[in-house]
Structure 1
Protein backbone atom coordinates (compact mmCIF):
# COMPACT_ATOMS: atom_id res chain seq x y z
CA UNK A 1 0.00 0.00 0.00
CA UNK A 2 1.33 3.44 -0.97
CA UNK A 3 2.27 5.54 2.03
CA UNK A 4 0.75 9.01 2.12
CA UNK A 5 3.49 11.60 2.38
CA UNK A 6 2.81 14.98 3.97
CA UNK A 7 6.19 15.84 5.48
CA UNK A 8 9.64 15.36 3.92
CA UNK A 9 12.87 15.45 5.90
CA UNK A 10 16.18 16.44 4.30
CA UNK A 11 19.72 15.88 5.56
CA UNK A 12 23.30 15.98 4.33
CA UNK A 13 25.66 13.22 5.38
CA UNK A 14 29.31 12.25 5.04
CA UNK A 15 31.87 14.63 3.57
CA UNK A 16 30.57 18.04 2.52
CA UNK A 17 30.63 18.97 -1.15
CA UNK A 18 30.07 22.28 -2.98
CA UNK A 19 26.53 22.25 -4.34
CA UNK A 20 24.93 20.51 -1.38
CA UNK A 21 23.24 23.78 -0.45
CA UNK A 22 21.82 24.06 -3.96
CA UNK A 23 20.37 20.56 -3.56
CA UNK A 24 18.86 21.39 -0.16
CA UNK A 25 17.37 24.57 -1.64
CA UNK A 26 15.82 22.62 -4.52
CA UNK A 27 14.35 19.98 -2.21
CA UNK A 28 12.84 22.56 0.12
CA UNK A 29 11.36 24.81 -2.55
CA UNK A 30 10.11 21.96 -4.74
CA UNK A 31 8.49 20.24 -1.76
CA UNK A 32 6.76 23.39 -0.51
CA UNK A 33 5.54 24.22 -4.01
CA UNK A 34 3.93 20.78 -4.16
CA UNK A 35 2.23 21.18 -0.80
CA UNK A 36 4.62 19.23 1.43
CA UNK A 37 5.96 20.31 4.79
CA UNK A 38 9.78 20.17 5.05
CA UNK A 39 11.90 19.37 8.08
CA UNK A 40 15.60 20.14 8.03
CA UNK A 41 17.84 17.71 9.92
CA UNK A 42 21.16 19.12 11.12
CA UNK A 43 24.38 17.08 11.38
CA UNK A 44 23.23 14.14 9.27
CA UNK A 45 22.09 10.90 10.86
CA UNK A 46 23.47 12.05 14.19
CA UNK A 47 20.98 14.91 14.20
CA UNK A 48 18.21 12.53 13.23
CA UNK A 49 18.97 10.37 16.25
CA UNK A 50 19.28 13.32 18.67
CA UNK A 51 16.35 15.30 17.30
CA UNK A 52 18.26 18.28 15.87
CA UNK A 53 15.35 18.96 13.53
CA UNK A 54 13.47 22.12 12.52
CA UNK A 55 10.81 23.16 10.03
CA UNK A 56 12.11 24.85 6.87
CA UNK A 57 10.29 27.57 4.94
CA UNK A 58 10.89 29.11 1.51
CA UNK A 59 13.14 31.77 3.02
CA UNK A 60 15.11 29.17 5.00
CA UNK A 61 17.09 28.51 1.83
CA UNK A 62 17.49 32.07 0.55
CA UNK A 63 21.00 33.17 -0.41
CA UNK A 64 22.57 29.72 -0.15
CA UNK A 65 22.81 28.53 -3.76
CA UNK A 66 26.24 30.16 -4.13
CA UNK A 67 27.63 28.98 -0.80
CA UNK A 68 29.90 26.00 -0.30
CA UNK A 69 29.49 23.55 2.56
CA UNK A 70 26.01 22.74 3.84
CA UNK A 71 23.69 24.86 5.97
CA UNK A 72 22.37 21.61 7.47
CA UNK A 73 25.87 20.68 8.58
CA UNK A 74 27.11 17.12 8.33
CA UNK A 75 28.70 14.49 10.52
CA UNK A 76 29.66 10.86 10.57
CA UNK A 77 27.64 8.87 13.07
CA UNK A 78 28.95 5.59 14.46
CA UNK A 79 25.77 5.04 16.47
CA UNK A 80 23.70 4.98 13.30
CA UNK A 81 25.69 1.96 12.08
CA UNK A 82 24.10 -0.08 14.87
CA UNK A 83 20.61 -1.57 14.75
CA UNK A 84 19.75 0.36 17.90
CA UNK A 85 20.85 3.64 16.33
CA UNK A 86 18.87 2.99 13.17
CA UNK A 87 15.75 2.24 15.20
CA UNK A 88 16.24 5.48 17.17
CA UNK A 89 16.44 7.38 13.88
CA UNK A 90 13.29 5.73 12.54
CA UNK A 91 11.46 6.44 15.78
CA UNK A 92 12.57 10.07 15.62
CA UNK A 93 11.12 10.36 12.12
CA UNK A 94 7.78 9.16 13.44
CA UNK A 95 8.02 11.52 16.43
CA UNK A 96 8.49 14.53 14.13
CA UNK A 97 5.95 13.32 11.60
CA UNK A 98 8.58 12.83 8.88
CA UNK A 99 7.00 10.54 6.30
CA UNK A 100 9.95 10.36 3.88
CA UNK A 101 13.60 11.36 3.82
CA UNK A 102 15.89 12.89 1.18
CA UNK A 103 19.51 11.99 1.91
CA UNK A 104 22.31 13.95 0.21
CA UNK A 105 25.68 12.21 0.43
CA UNK A 106 27.70 9.24 -0.74
CA UNK A 107 27.44 5.46 -0.71
CA UNK A 108 27.68 5.25 3.08
CA UNK A 109 24.80 7.70 3.36
CA UNK A 110 22.76 5.62 0.90
CA UNK A 111 23.40 2.44 2.88
CA UNK A 112 21.99 4.30 5.87
CA UNK A 113 18.97 5.31 3.81
CA UNK A 114 18.45 1.70 2.80
CA UNK A 115 18.51 0.67 6.46
CA UNK A 116 15.87 3.28 7.27
CA UNK A 117 13.77 2.14 4.31
CA UNK A 118 13.79 -1.36 5.79
CA UNK A 119 12.30 0.18 8.96
CA UNK A 120 9.46 1.78 7.03
CA UNK A 121 10.89 5.23 6.24
CA UNK A 122 10.79 5.89 2.47
CA UNK A 123 14.04 7.45 1.25
CA UNK A 124 15.52 9.09 -1.83
CA UNK A 125 19.29 9.49 -2.22
CA UNK A 126 21.06 12.36 -3.98
CA UNK A 127 24.77 11.80 -4.78
CA UNK A 128 26.94 14.49 -3.22
CA UNK A 129 30.70 13.88 -3.02
CA UNK A 130 33.69 15.57 -4.59
CA UNK A 131 35.31 12.20 -5.39
CA UNK A 132 32.74 11.29 -8.10
CA UNK A 133 32.96 7.70 -6.84
CA UNK A 134 29.27 6.77 -6.66
CA UNK A 135 28.90 3.90 -9.09
CA UNK A 136 25.33 4.52 -10.22
CA UNK A 137 25.96 8.10 -11.30
CA UNK A 138 28.27 9.46 -13.96
CA UNK A 139 28.49 12.70 -12.02
CA UNK A 140 28.22 13.68 -8.36
CA UNK A 141 27.55 17.07 -6.79
CA UNK A 142 30.77 18.87 -5.90
CA UNK A 143 33.09 17.11 -8.35
CA UNK A 144 33.40 19.95 -10.85
CA UNK A 145 34.05 22.59 -8.19
CA UNK A 146 36.68 20.45 -6.47
CA UNK A 147 38.55 19.91 -9.73
CA UNK A 148 38.46 23.60 -10.59
CA UNK A 149 39.75 24.46 -7.11
CA UNK A 150 42.61 22.00 -7.54
CA UNK A 151 43.47 23.32 -11.00
CA UNK A 152 43.52 26.90 -9.78
CA UNK A 153 45.88 26.06 -6.94
CA UNK A 154 48.19 23.92 -9.06
CA UNK A 155 48.40 26.64 -11.70
CA UNK A 156 49.69 28.98 -8.99
CA UNK A 157 52.10 26.34 -7.74
CA UNK A 158 53.44 25.86 -11.26
CA UNK A 159 54.78 29.43 -11.25
CA UNK A 160 57.17 28.79 -8.38
CA UNK A 161 57.94 25.25 -9.60
CA UNK A 162 59.04 26.59 -12.97
CA UNK A 163 61.01 29.47 -11.44
CA UNK A 164 63.16 27.06 -9.43
CA UNK A 165 63.32 24.10 -11.85
CA UNK A 166 61.66 21.94 -9.23
CA UNK A 167 59.46 18.89 -9.18
CA UNK A 168 56.18 19.47 -7.37
CA UNK A 169 54.32 16.40 -6.13
CA UNK A 170 50.74 17.44 -5.48
CA UNK A 171 48.38 15.25 -3.47
CA UNK A 172 44.69 15.63 -4.27
CA UNK A 173 41.68 13.96 -2.71
CA UNK A 174 40.53 10.53 -3.80
CA UNK A 175 41.17 7.74 -1.31
CA UNK A 176 39.72 4.98 -3.48
CA UNK A 177 39.03 6.84 -6.71
CA UNK A 178 41.33 8.68 -9.08
CA UNK A 179 38.80 10.86 -10.90
CA UNK A 180 39.98 14.16 -9.41
CA UNK A 181 43.63 13.25 -9.90
CA UNK A 182 43.25 12.06 -13.49
CA UNK A 183 41.23 14.97 -14.80
CA UNK A 184 43.11 17.59 -12.81
CA UNK A 185 46.40 16.10 -13.98
CA UNK A 186 45.39 16.37 -17.63
CA UNK A 187 44.15 19.93 -17.10
CA UNK A 188 47.44 21.14 -15.59
CA UNK A 189 49.71 19.18 -17.92
CA UNK A 190 51.15 16.95 -15.20
CA UNK A 191 54.06 14.75 -16.21
CA UNK A 192 52.71 11.80 -14.23
CA UNK A 193 49.38 11.01 -12.60
CA UNK A 194 49.17 8.32 -9.93
CA UNK A 195 45.72 6.89 -9.19
CA UNK A 196 44.47 4.01 -7.00
CA UNK A 197 42.94 2.18 -9.98
CA UNK A 198 46.29 1.66 -11.69
CA UNK A 199 49.40 0.30 -9.91
CA UNK A 200 52.42 2.47 -10.58
CA UNK A 201 56.14 1.91 -10.90
CA UNK A 202 58.13 4.96 -9.85
CA UNK A 203 60.96 4.20 -12.26
CA UNK A 204 58.71 3.73 -15.29
CA UNK A 205 56.00 6.25 -14.50
CA UNK A 206 58.05 9.11 -13.05
CA UNK A 207 61.84 8.81 -13.25
CA UNK A 208 62.07 7.62 -16.86
CA UNK A 209 59.59 10.28 -17.95
CA UNK A 210 61.53 12.99 -16.13
CA UNK A 211 64.78 11.87 -17.77
CA UNK A 212 63.17 11.91 -21.21
CA UNK A 213 61.64 15.36 -20.83
CA UNK A 214 64.89 16.78 -19.47
CA UNK A 215 66.58 15.75 -22.71
CA UNK A 216 63.95 17.73 -24.64
CA UNK A 217 64.62 20.86 -22.59
CA UNK A 218 62.06 20.71 -19.80
CA UNK A 219 63.36 21.13 -16.26
CA UNK A 220 60.29 21.54 -14.05
CA UNK A 221 57.71 18.87 -13.32
CA UNK A 222 54.24 18.44 -11.85
CA UNK A 223 53.28 15.03 -10.45
CA UNK A 224 49.66 14.51 -9.33
CA UNK A 225 48.97 11.87 -6.68
CA UNK A 226 45.56 10.70 -5.48
CA UNK A 227 45.64 10.41 -1.68
CA UNK A 228 44.85 6.70 -1.85
CA UNK A 229 48.11 5.98 -3.67
CA UNK A 230 50.51 7.10 -1.00
CA UNK A 231 52.01 10.11 0.79
CA UNK A 232 53.15 12.89 -1.52
CA UNK A 233 56.11 13.62 0.74
CA UNK A 234 57.42 10.06 0.50
CA UNK A 235 57.17 10.16 -3.28
CA UNK A 236 58.88 13.56 -3.44
CA UNK A 237 61.71 12.30 -1.25
CA UNK A 238 62.28 9.30 -3.49
CA UNK A 239 62.22 11.41 -6.66
CA UNK A 240 64.83 13.78 -5.25
CA UNK A 241 67.01 10.90 -4.06
CA UNK A 242 66.94 9.25 -7.50
CA UNK A 243 67.21 12.32 -9.73
CA UNK A 244 68.82 15.08 -7.70
CA UNK A 245 65.96 17.39 -8.73
CA UNK A 246 64.69 19.55 -5.87
CA UNK A 247 61.30 17.97 -5.16
CA UNK A 248 58.59 19.43 -2.95
CA UNK A 249 55.30 17.94 -1.76
CA UNK A 250 52.07 19.90 -1.55
CA UNK A 251 48.90 18.42 -0.02
CA UNK A 252 45.84 20.36 -1.16
CA UNK A 253 43.66 18.70 1.46
CA UNK A 254 40.24 19.90 2.53
CA UNK A 255 40.42 23.16 0.62
CA UNK A 256 39.10 21.06 -2.28
CA UNK A 257 35.81 20.65 -0.42
CA UNK A 258 35.22 24.38 -0.05
CA UNK A 259 34.40 27.34 -2.20
CA UNK A 260 31.42 28.58 -4.17
CA UNK A 261 29.98 25.78 -6.33
CA UNK A 262 30.45 25.96 -10.09
CA UNK A 263 27.60 26.45 -12.54
CA UNK A 264 27.55 22.71 -13.26
CA UNK A 265 27.29 21.79 -9.60
CA UNK A 266 24.53 24.33 -8.96
CA UNK A 267 22.44 23.19 -11.93
CA UNK A 268 22.99 19.46 -11.34
CA UNK A 269 22.17 19.79 -7.64
CA UNK A 270 19.04 21.78 -8.40
CA UNK A 271 17.85 19.23 -10.96
CA UNK A 272 18.54 16.33 -8.60
CA UNK A 273 16.71 17.99 -5.71
CA UNK A 274 13.69 18.62 -7.91
CA UNK A 275 13.73 15.00 -9.13
CA UNK A 276 13.94 13.61 -5.59
CA UNK A 277 10.77 15.38 -4.50
CA UNK A 278 9.00 14.58 -7.77
CA UNK A 279 9.64 10.86 -7.17
CA UNK A 280 8.14 11.08 -3.68
CA UNK A 281 5.13 12.95 -5.05
CA UNK A 282 4.53 10.05 -7.45
CA UNK A 283 4.81 7.51 -4.63
CA UNK A 284 8.19 6.22 -5.87
CA UNK A 285 10.42 5.45 -2.92
CA UNK A 286 13.83 4.05 -2.02
CA UNK A 287 15.62 5.30 -5.11
CA UNK A 288 18.91 7.06 -5.83
CA UNK A 289 18.85 10.00 -8.23
CA UNK A 290 21.74 9.88 -10.71
CA UNK A 291 23.19 11.25 -13.94
CA UNK A 292 23.37 9.02 -17.01
CA UNK A 293 24.22 10.35 -20.49
CA UNK A 294 23.78 13.88 -19.11
CA UNK A 295 20.19 13.14 -18.07
CA UNK A 296 18.73 12.88 -14.57
CA UNK A 297 17.64 9.30 -13.90
CA UNK A 298 16.99 7.17 -10.82
CA UNK A 299 17.73 3.63 -9.66
CA UNK A 300 16.40 1.31 -7.00
CA UNK A 301 18.65 1.85 -3.98
CA UNK A 302 19.71 -1.81 -3.83
CA UNK A 303 20.60 -1.76 -7.52
CA UNK A 304 22.47 1.52 -7.11
CA UNK A 305 24.57 0.15 -4.26
CA UNK A 306 25.41 -3.03 -6.22
CA UNK A 307 26.73 -1.19 -9.28
CA UNK A 308 30.41 -0.77 -10.12
CA UNK A 309 32.25 2.12 -11.73
CA UNK A 310 35.51 2.00 -13.64
CA UNK A 311 37.89 4.75 -14.64
CA UNK A 312 38.07 5.73 -18.31
CA UNK A 313 41.28 4.07 -19.52
CA UNK A 314 41.25 6.26 -22.61
CA UNK A 315 41.83 9.27 -20.39
CA UNK A 316 44.86 7.52 -18.89
CA UNK A 317 46.21 7.12 -22.42
CA UNK A 318 45.52 10.78 -23.13
CA UNK A 319 47.43 11.83 -20.03
CA UNK A 320 50.47 9.63 -20.67
CA UNK A 321 50.70 10.61 -24.34
CA UNK A 322 50.51 14.38 -24.21
CA UNK A 323 52.10 15.18 -20.85
CA UNK A 324 55.74 14.97 -21.91
Structure 2
Protein backbone atom coordinates (compact mmCIF):
# COMPACT_ATOMS: atom_id res chain seq x y z
CA UNK A 1 0.00 0.00 0.00
CA UNK A 2 1.37 3.46 -0.90
CA UNK A 3 1.68 6.30 1.56
CA UNK A 4 -1.15 8.11 -0.20
CA UNK A 5 -3.43 5.12 0.16
CA UNK A 6 -2.57 4.82 3.83
CA UNK A 7 -3.48 8.44 4.34
CA UNK A 8 -6.64 8.64 2.28
CA UNK A 9 -8.46 5.40 2.95
CA UNK A 10 -11.50 6.56 4.87
CA UNK A 11 -13.81 3.57 4.80
CA UNK A 12 -11.94 1.40 7.29
CA UNK A 13 -12.16 1.68 11.04
CA UNK A 14 -9.16 1.75 13.31
CA UNK A 15 -7.42 -1.62 13.52
CA UNK A 16 -5.85 -2.52 16.84
CA UNK A 17 -2.07 -2.84 16.86
CA UNK A 18 -2.06 -6.63 16.43
CA UNK A 19 0.92 -7.72 14.40
CA UNK A 20 3.19 -4.98 15.73
CA UNK A 21 2.79 -6.30 19.25
CA UNK A 22 3.04 -9.96 18.30
CA UNK A 23 6.36 -9.21 16.57
CA UNK A 24 7.74 -8.12 19.91
CA UNK A 25 8.09 -11.57 21.51
CA UNK A 26 11.63 -12.73 22.30
CA UNK A 27 12.65 -16.16 21.10
CA UNK A 28 15.02 -16.96 23.96
CA UNK A 29 13.83 -18.99 26.90
CA UNK A 30 11.67 -21.65 25.33
CA UNK A 31 8.18 -20.12 25.37
CA UNK A 32 5.69 -22.01 23.23
CA UNK A 33 4.88 -20.47 19.88
CA UNK A 34 1.72 -18.89 21.20
CA UNK A 35 1.55 -18.83 25.01
CA UNK A 36 -1.73 -16.93 24.88
CA UNK A 37 -3.68 -19.38 22.75
CA UNK A 38 -5.96 -20.36 25.60
CA UNK A 39 -6.15 -16.96 27.30
CA UNK A 40 -9.71 -16.43 26.13
CA UNK A 41 -10.71 -14.09 28.97
CA UNK A 42 -8.05 -11.47 28.40
CA UNK A 43 -5.85 -12.30 25.45
CA UNK A 44 -4.50 -8.75 25.18
CA UNK A 45 -3.21 -8.76 28.74
CA UNK A 46 -1.57 -12.15 28.23
CA UNK A 47 0.25 -10.89 25.14
CA UNK A 48 1.69 -7.91 26.99
CA UNK A 49 2.59 -9.82 30.14
CA UNK A 50 4.78 -12.37 28.35
CA UNK A 51 7.74 -10.02 28.11
CA UNK A 52 8.30 -9.51 31.84
CA UNK A 53 10.17 -12.73 32.72
CA UNK A 54 12.56 -12.20 29.81
CA UNK A 55 13.31 -8.64 30.86
CA UNK A 56 14.00 -9.88 34.38
CA UNK A 57 16.38 -12.45 32.96
CA UNK A 58 18.27 -10.26 30.51
CA UNK A 59 17.86 -6.68 31.73
CA UNK A 60 17.19 -6.18 35.41
CA UNK A 61 17.65 -7.94 38.70
CA UNK A 62 14.02 -7.65 39.67
CA UNK A 63 11.36 -5.38 38.27
CA UNK A 64 9.94 -3.22 41.02
CA UNK A 65 6.25 -3.12 40.11
CA UNK A 66 3.50 -5.64 39.57
CA UNK A 67 2.36 -5.96 35.98
CA UNK A 68 -1.28 -5.94 37.06
CA UNK A 69 -0.84 -2.41 38.44
CA UNK A 70 0.62 -1.15 35.18
CA UNK A 71 -2.06 -2.91 33.15
CA UNK A 72 -4.98 -1.59 35.18
CA UNK A 73 -3.58 1.93 35.47
CA UNK A 74 -2.59 2.55 31.85
CA UNK A 75 -2.67 -0.07 29.12
CA UNK A 76 -6.11 -1.45 29.85
CA UNK A 77 -7.51 2.07 29.64
CA UNK A 78 -6.02 2.60 26.18
CA UNK A 79 -7.16 -0.84 25.07
CA UNK A 80 -10.71 -0.10 26.18
CA UNK A 81 -10.80 3.30 24.49
CA UNK A 82 -9.48 1.87 21.23
CA UNK A 83 -11.95 -0.99 21.36
CA UNK A 84 -14.82 1.43 22.02
CA UNK A 85 -14.01 3.82 19.17
CA UNK A 86 -13.48 0.93 16.78
CA UNK A 87 -16.74 -0.73 17.83
CA UNK A 88 -18.71 2.50 17.46
CA UNK A 89 -17.29 3.32 14.03
CA UNK A 90 -17.86 -0.23 12.82
CA UNK A 91 -21.46 -0.36 14.11
CA UNK A 92 -22.30 2.99 12.54
CA UNK A 93 -20.98 1.95 9.11
CA UNK A 94 -22.64 0.18 6.21
CA UNK A 95 -21.32 -3.36 5.95
CA UNK A 96 -20.93 -5.98 3.25
CA UNK A 97 -22.60 -9.36 3.90
CA UNK A 98 -19.24 -10.76 5.03
CA UNK A 99 -19.01 -8.13 7.76
CA UNK A 100 -16.37 -5.85 6.25
CA UNK A 101 -16.99 -2.10 6.04
CA UNK A 102 -18.64 -1.01 2.79
CA UNK A 103 -19.23 2.65 3.58
CA UNK A 104 -18.43 4.93 6.52
CA UNK A 105 -20.13 8.30 6.72
CA UNK A 106 -17.99 11.40 7.11
CA UNK A 107 -19.49 12.13 10.51
CA UNK A 108 -18.66 8.60 11.72
CA UNK A 109 -15.14 8.80 10.41
CA UNK A 110 -14.56 12.27 11.88
CA UNK A 111 -15.81 11.15 15.29
CA UNK A 112 -13.53 8.12 15.14
CA UNK A 113 -10.49 10.29 14.42
CA UNK A 114 -11.43 12.79 17.13
CA UNK A 115 -11.55 9.96 19.67
CA UNK A 116 -8.32 8.49 18.30
CA UNK A 117 -6.65 11.87 18.72
CA UNK A 118 -7.82 11.83 22.33
CA UNK A 119 -6.04 8.50 22.84
CA UNK A 120 -2.90 9.96 21.25
CA UNK A 121 -2.97 12.93 23.63
CA UNK A 122 -3.48 10.66 26.61
CA UNK A 123 -0.54 8.50 25.56
CA UNK A 124 1.65 11.57 25.39
CA UNK A 125 0.75 12.14 29.03
CA UNK A 126 1.84 8.61 29.94
CA UNK A 127 5.03 8.31 27.93
CA UNK A 128 7.39 9.47 30.68
CA UNK A 129 6.26 6.55 32.82
CA UNK A 130 7.92 4.27 30.25
CA UNK A 131 11.00 6.29 29.30
CA UNK A 132 12.40 7.98 32.42
CA UNK A 133 15.97 6.95 33.20
CA UNK A 134 15.08 4.71 36.11
CA UNK A 135 12.41 2.97 34.04
CA UNK A 136 14.90 0.33 32.89
CA UNK A 137 14.42 -1.24 36.32
CA UNK A 138 10.65 -0.88 36.39
CA UNK A 139 7.83 -2.89 34.93
CA UNK A 140 6.78 0.14 32.88
CA UNK A 141 10.28 0.46 31.44
CA UNK A 142 10.20 -3.17 30.40
CA UNK A 143 7.23 -2.43 28.16
CA UNK A 144 8.63 0.66 26.44
CA UNK A 145 8.83 -1.07 23.04
CA UNK A 146 5.24 -2.29 23.27
CA UNK A 147 3.94 1.08 24.42
CA UNK A 148 5.82 2.72 21.57
CA UNK A 149 4.35 0.17 19.12
CA UNK A 150 0.85 0.97 20.28
CA UNK A 151 1.44 4.71 20.09
CA UNK A 152 3.04 4.31 16.66
CA UNK A 153 -0.07 2.54 15.42
CA UNK A 154 -2.27 5.34 16.78
CA UNK A 155 -0.20 8.05 15.08
CA UNK A 156 -0.02 6.16 11.79
CA UNK A 157 -3.80 5.81 11.72
CA UNK A 158 -4.23 9.51 12.51
CA UNK A 159 -2.55 10.26 9.20
CA UNK A 160 -5.75 9.03 7.59
CA UNK A 161 -7.60 12.04 9.00
CA UNK A 162 -8.03 15.27 7.09
CA UNK A 163 -8.14 17.24 10.34
CA UNK A 164 -5.10 15.74 12.07
CA UNK A 165 -2.89 15.63 8.99
CA UNK A 166 -1.46 19.10 8.95
CA UNK A 167 2.20 19.86 8.38
CA UNK A 168 2.61 20.31 12.13
CA UNK A 169 0.88 17.02 12.93
CA UNK A 170 3.02 15.11 10.47
CA UNK A 171 6.20 16.62 11.87
CA UNK A 172 5.05 15.79 15.41
CA UNK A 173 4.36 12.14 14.54
CA UNK A 174 7.70 11.83 12.78
CA UNK A 175 9.50 13.43 15.70
CA UNK A 176 7.86 11.12 18.24
CA UNK A 177 8.63 8.01 16.20
CA UNK A 178 12.24 9.09 15.91
CA UNK A 179 12.42 9.73 19.65
CA UNK A 180 11.02 6.29 20.42
CA UNK A 181 13.62 4.72 18.13
CA UNK A 182 16.46 6.59 19.85
CA UNK A 183 15.21 5.82 23.34
CA UNK A 184 14.80 2.12 22.69
CA UNK A 185 18.21 1.87 21.07
CA UNK A 186 19.74 3.62 24.09
CA UNK A 187 17.82 1.35 26.45
CA UNK A 188 18.96 -1.77 24.60
CA UNK A 189 22.59 -0.65 24.60
CA UNK A 190 22.50 0.24 28.27
CA UNK A 191 21.00 -3.07 29.29
CA UNK A 192 23.30 -5.11 27.05
CA UNK A 193 26.34 -3.51 28.65
CA UNK A 194 24.92 -4.08 32.13
CA UNK A 195 24.47 -7.79 31.46
CA UNK A 196 27.87 -8.31 29.89
CA UNK A 197 29.62 -6.38 32.68
CA UNK A 198 28.59 -9.13 35.09
CA UNK A 199 31.12 -11.36 33.35
CA UNK A 200 34.66 -10.95 34.62
CA UNK A 201 37.99 -12.66 34.05
CA UNK A 202 41.09 -12.08 36.17
CA UNK A 203 44.37 -13.82 35.53
CA UNK A 204 47.66 -13.49 37.44
CA UNK A 205 50.38 -15.49 35.78
CA UNK A 206 53.29 -14.01 37.73
CA UNK A 207 55.09 -16.56 39.85
CA UNK A 208 58.34 -18.28 40.64
CA UNK A 209 58.59 -21.95 39.90
CA UNK A 210 61.88 -22.96 41.47
CA UNK A 211 60.43 -24.59 44.56
CA UNK A 212 57.45 -24.57 46.89
CA UNK A 213 59.03 -22.21 49.38
CA UNK A 214 59.56 -19.58 46.72
CA UNK A 215 56.29 -20.24 44.90
CA UNK A 216 54.02 -17.29 44.33
CA UNK A 217 50.69 -18.73 43.38
CA UNK A 218 49.53 -18.06 39.87
CA UNK A 219 45.79 -18.09 39.53
CA UNK A 220 42.80 -17.11 37.43
CA UNK A 221 39.27 -16.30 38.47
CA UNK A 222 36.31 -16.32 36.06
CA UNK A 223 32.89 -15.22 37.25
CA UNK A 224 29.37 -14.34 36.20
CA UNK A 225 27.66 -12.35 38.95
CA UNK A 226 24.32 -11.78 37.23
CA UNK A 227 21.07 -12.25 39.13
CA UNK A 228 20.65 -15.84 40.37
CA UNK A 229 23.94 -16.70 38.72
CA UNK A 230 26.73 -18.11 40.89
CA UNK A 231 28.83 -19.26 37.99
CA UNK A 232 32.53 -19.25 38.82
CA UNK A 233 35.63 -21.08 37.67
CA UNK A 234 39.38 -20.68 37.76
CA UNK A 235 42.60 -22.34 38.78
CA UNK A 236 45.46 -22.00 41.21
CA UNK A 237 48.75 -23.78 41.88
CA UNK A 238 49.82 -26.76 43.92
CA UNK A 239 53.13 -27.94 45.33
CA UNK A 240 54.13 -31.28 43.85
CA UNK A 241 57.48 -33.05 44.13
CA UNK A 242 59.05 -29.92 45.57
CA UNK A 243 57.95 -27.69 42.69
CA UNK A 244 55.16 -25.15 42.29
CA UNK A 245 52.89 -26.30 39.48
CA UNK A 246 49.56 -25.47 37.98
CA UNK A 247 46.84 -28.01 38.43
CA UNK A 248 47.13 -30.19 35.30
CA UNK A 249 45.08 -28.79 32.41
CA UNK A 250 43.07 -26.64 34.84
CA UNK A 251 44.11 -23.36 33.26
CA UNK A 252 43.09 -24.49 29.79
CA UNK A 253 39.79 -25.99 30.91
CA UNK A 254 38.81 -23.02 33.07
CA UNK A 255 39.53 -20.50 30.35
CA UNK A 256 37.75 -22.60 27.73
CA UNK A 257 34.72 -23.01 29.97
CA UNK A 258 34.56 -19.28 30.67
CA UNK A 259 34.86 -18.32 27.03
CA UNK A 260 32.14 -20.78 26.08
CA UNK A 261 29.88 -19.47 28.85
CA UNK A 262 30.43 -15.81 27.95
CA UNK A 263 29.76 -16.47 24.27
CA UNK A 264 26.51 -18.23 25.11
CA UNK A 265 25.43 -15.35 27.35
CA UNK A 266 26.20 -12.84 24.60
CA UNK A 267 24.33 -14.92 22.04
CA UNK A 268 21.17 -15.10 24.16
CA UNK A 269 21.25 -11.41 25.00
CA UNK A 270 21.78 -10.46 21.35
CA UNK A 271 18.80 -12.60 20.32
CA UNK A 272 16.66 -10.88 22.93
CA UNK A 273 17.68 -7.39 21.86
CA UNK A 274 17.22 -8.20 18.20
CA UNK A 275 13.57 -8.78 19.04
CA UNK A 276 13.35 -5.62 21.13
CA UNK A 277 14.91 -3.54 18.36
CA UNK A 278 13.03 -5.24 15.52
CA UNK A 279 10.36 -2.56 15.43
CA UNK A 280 12.76 0.37 15.23
CA UNK A 281 13.26 0.07 11.41
CA UNK A 282 9.48 -0.08 11.00
CA UNK A 283 9.04 3.20 12.88
CA UNK A 284 11.84 4.86 10.94
CA UNK A 285 10.29 3.62 7.70
CA UNK A 286 6.98 5.15 8.79
CA UNK A 287 8.77 8.45 9.29
CA UNK A 288 9.89 8.30 5.66
CA UNK A 289 6.47 7.23 4.37
CA UNK A 290 4.75 10.04 6.25
CA UNK A 291 6.89 12.57 4.39
CA UNK A 292 5.15 11.61 1.14
CA UNK A 293 1.65 11.93 2.54
CA UNK A 294 -0.10 15.15 1.43
CA UNK A 295 -0.93 17.45 4.34
CA UNK A 296 -3.43 20.23 4.86
CA UNK A 297 -2.33 23.86 4.72
CA UNK A 298 -3.67 25.58 7.81
CA UNK A 299 -1.60 28.77 7.94
CA UNK A 300 -0.41 31.46 5.57
CA UNK A 301 2.79 33.45 5.60
CA UNK A 302 6.22 32.36 6.66
CA UNK A 303 6.41 29.82 9.47
CA UNK A 304 9.27 29.80 11.92
CA UNK A 305 11.27 26.66 12.63
CA UNK A 306 10.36 24.69 15.72
CA UNK A 307 12.84 23.55 18.30
CA UNK A 308 12.87 19.87 17.42
CA UNK A 309 14.20 18.02 20.42
CA UNK A 310 12.89 14.87 22.00
CA UNK A 311 10.33 15.74 24.69
CA UNK A 312 11.20 12.59 26.63
Question: Which TM-score applies when normalising by structure 1?
Answer: 0.21
Structure having the higher strand fraction is 1
Structure having the higher helix fraction is 2
Larger Rg: 2
Question: Which TM-score applies when normalising by structure 2?
Answer: 0.22
